[in-house]
Structure 1
Amino acid sequence: MSVVLVGCGNMGFAMLRGWIGTGTLPPGNVHVVEPLDTLRLRAEDQGVNVHSTAASLPAALAPAIVIVAVKPQVIGDVLADYGRYAQPGRDTIFVSVAAGVRIDRLEHALAPGAPVVRVMPNTPAAVGHGAMVMCANPSVTDRQLAAVRQLMAASGEVTEIADEALMDAVTAVSGSGPAYVFHLIEALSEAGRAVGLPDEIAGRLAMQTVFGAAAYARESADDPGTLREQVTSPNGTTAAALDVLMRPGGLAALIGEAVTAARDRAVELGR
């Protein structure tokens, strides 16, 4: 199937790398539309077709999927350039990864009854470990949804939800979540340096510890709380650290505030 990817910023490029790297899409079947030279050049390095504007797409092109990976603030203007693929008789599915932009707004920018799927991916999609959450409108057929699911599965684990109102919460947890984990790695690295570890060793230990703990939690039959208890000996070093992290206003409270702030911002962007 042919795919048009509109926008090749961090998220668009992460998905593109996943598709090409896994062989899910032949590079020749992908058309990337990106106005910025630097972003267009890195897409071109993946072997795909690149265009600076929608006007330069082949006139005969009949894409199975148009994926729009642009900022929420500009998505309405951008979609106007792709309305021709939403006309009656076309079989193109429109997929949006714009945070907070509701399906009805996407339909309004395209055509009544256009098949639309909202997807919230995250940047680990670039290495095949993304969390991809989809929500489709009633115009999307089972066959079309399966095509989108197959494409997203190349970049990670796919979850589907029926209630679009949950997408703002999804955005706050998995969409923005990698940044929280990156910040944890930063903080753990810096803490290691502060207690005397060389820079390179502190960074490597922090990175591998987060990676290993996540992999262990994924493979274990136990829930994260049980795993935490298994690592924590009474009156030991881990217990001393957790006394700080788990005190009132500690890590759980901060993460809760962060997720709520991200959810609220996603709601604002969708207005």
Structure 2
Amino acid sequence: MANKITFIGAGNMASAIIGGLIDSGVAPSTITATAPNDSELTSIKQRLGINTDTDNNAAVAEADVVVLAVKPQIMRNVCEALRDSVQRQQPLVISIAAGLDAGTIDQWLGGQNAMVRCMPNTPSLVGYGASGLYANANVSDAQRDVATQLMEAVGIVEWVEEEALLDAVTAVSGSAPAYFFLMFEAMEEAAVKLGLPAATARRLAIQTALGAATMAQQSDKDPATLKQNVMSPGGTTERAIQHMEEAQLRTTIADAMQACADRAQAMAKELSGS
């Protein structure tokens, strides 16, 4: 990736992506991260050996790629302050901020920018992320490749051709780590009631989820078939699955994901001021 990359914001997600890029062979000298104060940049500079700056405009001045990694609530102020620099430099702009659509950010940056909106998730922090990406009409094929490489540094990437589908991405992957954490929590509580120590139950549940995910990832069979392969007629697994089906688990999951997508849409309106 022969590009100069500037991260506006140096928080956990930016740090994870930068670390992944360096691990994949990107030279630290081509990466700059910014924050309002030097004290916020000391750790990332020492740990990763990248350039740092407290002046966003100076950091954007020679950037080929600008990654907006600040909180949605301050994005407008950050973008409007960067407008002239972005209009002069015309970099690829990638936003990893939740809830803000590409059109709104593009407008704050002066318009007609090559914009990619990304919906990552927290497993990106450990290199097992899943990110959904959307590109506006100003993004070239080469720039799409750059965005793909950047986010593949922390996991897998899936592109959507309609920005509205990022709400579905939010529901199936962006917010989904919490669904699995809830499952671990519930399984641990149930196992304790069955007599297991909490720590033992937690380790077993997490390892089982890791194993099941790995099997699903490596297998050419769909999840329904893998599930069926575990179930013996009249056995324990069949009884457990039957109970979940009777309790309308599928409906609960579908309703929760719809609520998540609906909230994503509402947040976009709130944050854009529309």
Q: Work out whether the TM-score is over 0.5.
A: yes
2:31: which partner in 1? 30
Cα offset for 1:58? 4.9
CA distance in 2, matches of 1:9, 1:191: 36
Q: What does residue 190 of structure 1 align with?
A: 189
What's the counterpart of residue 250 of structure 2?
252
For 1:239 and 1:50, the matched residues in 2 are separated by 56
- 2:22 alignment partner AA: I
The answer to whether the Cα contact below 8 Å between 1:8 and 1:34 also exists between their aligned partners in 2 is yes
Alignment partner for residue 15 of structure 1, among 14, 17, 38? Answer: 17
Write the deviation string for residues 169-211 of structure 1: whole angstroms up to 9, x where unpaired.
1112111111212222222233222322223322211111001
Equivalent pairs counted in the alignment come to: 266
**Mapped partners of 2:84, 2:258: distance in 1:** 38
Tell me, what secondary structure is at the counterpart of 1:31? strand
Is the partner of 1:151 in helix, strand or coil?
A: helix
Contact 1:14 1:123 in 2 (8 A): no
Q: Distance in 2 between matches of 1:244 and 1:38?
A: 54
| C-alpha contact 2:76 2:105 (8 A) present in aligned 1 | yes
Structure 1 residues 219 and 147, CA, compared in 2 at 3 Å: closer, same or farther? same
For residues 87-236 of structure 1, the aligned pairs below 5 Å read 87-88=87-88, 90-236=89-235
Amino acid in the other structure paired with 1:178: P
Whether the 8 Å contact between 2:53 and 2:59 is mirrored in structure 1 is no
Aligned mates of 1:11, 1:187 — CA distance in 2: 28
Of 38, 43, 52, the residue aligned with 1:50 is 52
TM-score normalised by the chain length of structure 1 = 0.89
User: Could you tell me how far apart the structure 2 residues matched to 1:209 and 1:37 are?
Assistant: 43
Q: TM-score under structure 2 normalisation? A: 0.88
- The 8 Å contact of residues 85 and 92 in structure 1, kept in 2 or not, is answered as no
* Correspondence 1:36-75 to 2 at 5 A: 40-44=41-45, 45-54=47-56, 57-58=58-59, 61-75=61-75
Root mean square deviation of aligned Cα: 2.2
Show structure 1 runs of 5+ residues with no match: none
User: Conserved in 2, the CA contact under 8 Å of 1:17 and 1:126?
Assistant: no
CA contact (8 A) 2:29 2:50 kept: yes
Which segment is superposed worse, 30-39 or 156-165?
A: 30-39
Identity level (%): 38
Unaligned runs of 5+ in 2: 270-274
Conservation of the 8 A alpha-carbon contact between 1:100 and 1:167: no
Deviation at 1:87, TM superposition (A): 1.5
- Deviation readout 1:212-264 (Å, 9 max, x if unpaired): 10010111111111111111112211122212222243x22222122111111
